[in-house]
Amino acid sequence: MDLGIVAQQVFNGLMLGVIYSMIAVGFSLFFGVLDVIKFSHGDVVTLGSFSALGAAGVSGALFALPPALALLAGLSAAVGAGALAGIVIGRVLVIPLRGAPSINVLLATLMAGTVLREAIRLGVPNGGNPKPFPALLPSGMIKAGSFSVGIDSVIILCAGLLLVVGTHLLVTRTRFGLSIRAVAQDDEVARLAGIDQQRVVLGTFALGSGLAAFAGCMLGLYYREISFNMGVLLGIIGFASAVVGGLGSLIGPIIGGFLFAGVQTLVVVAMPISSAYRDVVAFAVIIILIALFPTGMIAEQRSDRV
């Protein structure tokens, strides 16, 4: 196979991987601080892309903004809406249900996701159909032999990588990150040390959901089309990446995200005709990996308390 096509596919895989990682990191953050799976995460991604579309479209139409400013408006709207949704879901659903069986929390967040999705479908004019996303990034191609890639894709990829690395630094190097890790490790001791646990939890929810919303905005910029139900599969993929990588760590979900994207890309390369099988193979790989590594590839550090 020609080297350019390989590079092209590697680039596509990286692109998908960065988006999956951003979603998966959220799952790992929530699981860390509260031991819950927030399953509305995929729909927060959708919320992010629709907020970005709305804000960029409206501000662009009202003030005839240059694309860069419209993009800024869209991004801040997406991250704001995502963080707000995360805080509301955490405050209204997850914290009150702390003592309940985990299946109740799982169902509650799934239903919150359904509410978000249906609200978008019913609330956005003609929301049942896919919507075009404006091209806000500079167009133009980078070419090298048979390898060609849009400048916009490179920008998206770099921004995503920066954000994932930034989140990692935030959690490992800052005071807020320290309190997140303290609450995750033992919330009673953390409270004794004077950490406002609820604030940390809600802060984590805002952080994870903001990341997901940013990923939604990136998806819109990359695919140029968004739809109300795109979050369902993305949420499942993000969850799968987080679980396969290991819910207990922050590197795990990033590895998981790139792994999932890698498998999908490989299937597309290997079977170009039946690329629809990429999800089938990817999920089969996930099930096999779970059988091999029952608690994720980077295992959780915990022991049973009897």
In the set 78, 200, 247, 259, which binds other proteins (CB under 8 A)? 247
Instruction: State how beta strands 147-150 and 225-226 pair.
Output: unpaired
239 binds other proteins (CB under 8 A): yes
In the set 96, 130, 132, 166, which binds other proteins (CB under 8 A)? 96
| Residues contacting 226, CB < 8 A, separation 6+ | 46, 49, 50, 53, 130, 131, 133, 216, 219, 220
304 binds other proteins (CB under 8 A): yes
CB atoms within 10 A of CB 302: 9
Query: Residue 102, CB half-sphere, CA atoms under 13 Å: how many?
Result: 7
* Least distance CB 239 / other proteins (angstroms): 6
Q: Longest Cα pair distance anywhere in the chain, in angstroms?
A: 64
Determine the Cα–Cα distance for residues 40 and 125; give it in Å rounded to an integer: 22
271 binds other proteins (CB under 8 A): no
270 binds other proteins (CB under 8 A): no
In the set 5, 115, 135, 193, which binds other proteins (CB under 8 A)? 115
In the set 11, 147, 176, 283, which binds other proteins (CB under 8 A)? 283
**The pair of three-digit structure tokens given for residue 115, joined into one six-digit string:** 């509410």
Binding-site ranges for other proteins (CB under 8 A): 31, 37, 93, 96-97, 100-104, 106-108, 110-112, 114-115, 118-119, 122, 232-233, 236, 239-240, 243, 247, 274, 276-277, 279-280, 283-284, 286-288, 290-291, 294-296, 304, 306
